[in-house]
């Protein structure tokens, strides 16, 4: 059976359904974690800075976020990536990341997915490209076959050895760090860092996040710590460590989490446990791996995260006014 050409032309697909809005997406996964790049169909945000564009989306158009990533078209795991024109003159594009509960600062697996998607679309070839995000511009290096390295925004450890009482678990000690999002990093202890342990890991991580909130433990300027990273030993010989990352909405990251690995690199550097330029192979809870390292530029630590994405679908989302769940089920 021959498959018809798919040219992402929404008019061609639904000529008879002119009452419907359409959102054009390309889906990929990076180390198992999905990214849905929105190529067209969101409201016009031109002329706004990226932080202002996020506020406009949040305040006036949040239903587009829900329509694109929440059920019934998506699920709690999907990270959306709204592709926009560049803000800075030397950048290729801008991106705003979002998920089932809101908007992200940066997203490492999502940036790898975005560049693999742009290559799939014929918009990039192997080379170096700057991408603007709401928390800063990142440099990306496209290597081909979905392999992408991201020089992230500067990362830092904000607080070390923070103690918090977590009901049912007792005193938990960890670090607060920025890797493009806010993280609390602590040891997984005896919890099994594998797929079979996901329920237990999630329950613990949710309890930690709740306790941080209750005790007003935050990132800088009172920022909510919305990602919890549980660390343990690597399970494959030659790798450096394994993590479980709870994302803001309660889903866990199937990838080793680019911003989480960046936060980890900042903590390792602060503890003198990883030297500049040395490789850190970070396993996810499902066993996928990102290669991380960092360099120092003045007093800033710039993490680099390398991983591979696979494009899995070209999708036109249809928004029918007669669908009771047209704008998603949060």
Count Cβ neighbours within 10 Å for each residue of 54-72 and write b for 16 or more, e otherwise.
beebeeeebebbbbbbbee
CB of 108 to ligand PYC, least distance (A): 4
- 289: part of which helix (H) or strand (E)? strand 289-297
CB of 303 to ligand PYC, least distance (A): 11
CB of 288 to ligand PYC, least distance (A): 11
Token code pair at residue 148: 């992408």
Q: How many residues bind ligand PYC (CB under 6 A)?
A: 12
Token code pair at residue 258: 């680019």
Site for ligand PYC in 161-180 (CB under 6 A): none
Active site residues: 107, 257
Candidates 247, 263, 268, 269; binder of ligand PYC (CB under 6 A) is 247
Report the residue number, 204 or 290, with the smaller CB distance to ligand PYC. Answer: 290
Report the residue number, 169 or 249, with the smaller CB distance to ligand PYC. Answer: 249
226 binds ligand PYC (CB under 6 A): no
CB of 269 to ligand PYC, least distance (A): 18
Token code pair at residue 37: 């790049």
| DSSP-derived secondary structure letter, 254 | S
- Phi then psi dihedrals of residue 109, to 5 deg: -65, -35
Say how far apart CA 170 and CA 108 lie, in whole Å: 32
- 100: part of which helix (H) or strand (E)? none
109 binds ligand PYC (CB under 6 A): yes
Contacts (Cβ under 8 Å, ≥6 apart) of 3: none
79 binds ligand PYC (CB under 6 A): yes
| DSSP-derived secondary structure letter, 155 | B
CB of 257 to ligand PYC, least distance (A): 4
CA distances to 9, 94, 101, 318 from 22, rounded to whole Å, are 10, 21, 22, 5
CB of 320 to ligand PYC, least distance (A): 30
- The pattern of x and - marking residues 251 through 290 that bind ligand PYC according to CB under 6 A reads --x-x-xxx-------------------------------
Count Cβ neighbours within 10 Å for each residue of 187-205 and write b for 16 or more, e otherwise.
ebeebebeeebeeebbebb
Which segment (37-45, 102-110, 159-167, 231-239) binds ligand PYC by CB under 6 A?
Answer: 102-110
Report the residue number, 10 or 80, with the smaller CB distance to ligand PYC. Answer: 80
Helix, strand, or coil (residue 57): helix
155 binds ligand PYC (CB under 6 A): no
Which segment (20-28, 57-65, 104-112, 185-193) binds ligand PYC by CB under 6 A?
Answer: 104-112
Site for ligand PYC in 28-47 (CB under 6 A): 33
Task: Of 168, 170, 124, 171, give the one whose Cα is nearest residue 146.
Answer: 124
Q: Which residues bind ligand PYC (CB under 6 A)?
A: 33, 79, 104, 107-109, 247, 253, 255, 257-259
């Amino acid at each position: 059976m021959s498959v018809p050409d798919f040219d992402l032309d929404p008019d061609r697909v639904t000529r008879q359904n002119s009452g419907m809005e359409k959102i054009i997406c390309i889906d990929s996964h990076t180390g198992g974690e999905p990214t849905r790049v929105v190529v067209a169909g969101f409201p016009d945000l031109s002329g706004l800075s990226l932080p202002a564009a996020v506020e406009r989306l949040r305040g006036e158009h949040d239903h587009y976020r829900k329509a694109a990533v929440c059920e019934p078209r998506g699920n709690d795991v999907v990270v959306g990536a709204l592709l926009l024109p560049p803000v800075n003159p030397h950048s290729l594009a801008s991106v705003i990341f979002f998920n089932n509960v809101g908007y992200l600062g940066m997203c490492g697996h999502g940036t790898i997915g975005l560049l693999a998607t742009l290559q799939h679309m014929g918009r990039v070839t192997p080379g170096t490209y700057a991408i603007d995000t709401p928390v800063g511009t990142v440099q990306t290096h496209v290597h081909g076959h979905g392999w992408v390295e991201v020089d992230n925004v500067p990362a830092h450890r904000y607080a070390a050895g923070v103690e918090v009482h977590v009901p049912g678990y007792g005193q938990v000690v960890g670090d607060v760090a920025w890797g493009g999002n806010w993280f609390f990093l602590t040891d997984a202890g005896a919890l099994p860092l594998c797929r079979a342990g996901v329920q237990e890991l999630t329950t613990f991580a949710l309890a930690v996040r709740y306790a941080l909130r209750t005790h007003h433990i935050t990132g800088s300027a009172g920022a909510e710590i919305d990602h919890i990273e549980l660390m343990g030993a690597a399970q494959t010989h030659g790798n450096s460590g394994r993590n479980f990352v709870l994302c803001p909405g309660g889903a866990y990251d199937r990838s080793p989490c680019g911003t989480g690995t960046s936060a980890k690199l900042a903590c390792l550097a602060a503890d003198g446990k990883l030297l500049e330029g040395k490789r850190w192979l970070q396993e996810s809870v499902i066993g996928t791996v990102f290669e991380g390292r960092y360099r120092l530029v003045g007093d800033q630590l710039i993490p680099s995260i390398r991983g591979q994405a696979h494009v899995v679908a070209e999708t036109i989302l249809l928004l029918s006014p007669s669908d009771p769940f047209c704008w998603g089920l949060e």
